[in-house]
Amino acid sequence: MAKEFSYKGKTLEELKKMDLKELSKLLLSRERRSLKRGLAKQQKIFLKEFESYGSGKRKKPLRTHCRNLIVLPNMVGSQIHIHSGKEFVPVFIEPEMIGHRFGEFAFTRKKVTHSAPGIGATKSTSSIAVK
């Protein structure tokens, strides 16, 4: 049996019906304060594009550089490409992501993987013959 999603006692359908002021009362203090100050121009542009994306006018997934935008309930179920500084990372928005910021899901740093040491890097590589 699948567990029913709830955010602070509210179901996803109830969260989608709320306006931004009601929703901000449920969020953590940092997110609540940023919504209270108002959205930046880029964030407003993105939300306007997202509304047209939801209605089916857009074919491609949305791409954004707004890493500080808060995931809202109406975004659940969509795929958004978030810029990581080098490339756009595809992120599928799930209900558990509500209240978090986009930047938390598109990492800016990758794990460093080293290959074998180069010639001359250690004493053992001096015995390797170069062709």
Full strand arrangement of the beta sheet holding 62-64:
62-64, 79-83, 88-92
pLDDT score for 63? 93
Residues 6 or more apart in contact with residue 68 via CB below 8 angstroms: 34, 43, 101, 102, 103
Digit-by-digit pLDDT tens for the chain (131 residues) are 678 888 888 999 999 999 989 999 999 999 999 989 988 999 999 999 888 876 666 778 899 999 999 999 999 989 999 999 999 999 999 999 999 999 999 999 988 888 877 776 777 655 666 66
pLDDT score for 52? 83
Let me know: does 130 contact 119? Beta carbons within 8 Å: yes
**Which of helix, strand or coil describes residue 62?**
strand
Radius of gyration for the chain, computed over Cα atoms and rounded to the nearest angstrom: 22
Instruction: Please report the domains of the chain, with CATH numbers, ordered by start residue.
Output: 6-108 (3.30.860.10)
Beta bridge partners of 90: 81
Instruction: Tell me the whole-structure pTM to 2 decimals.
Output: 0.78
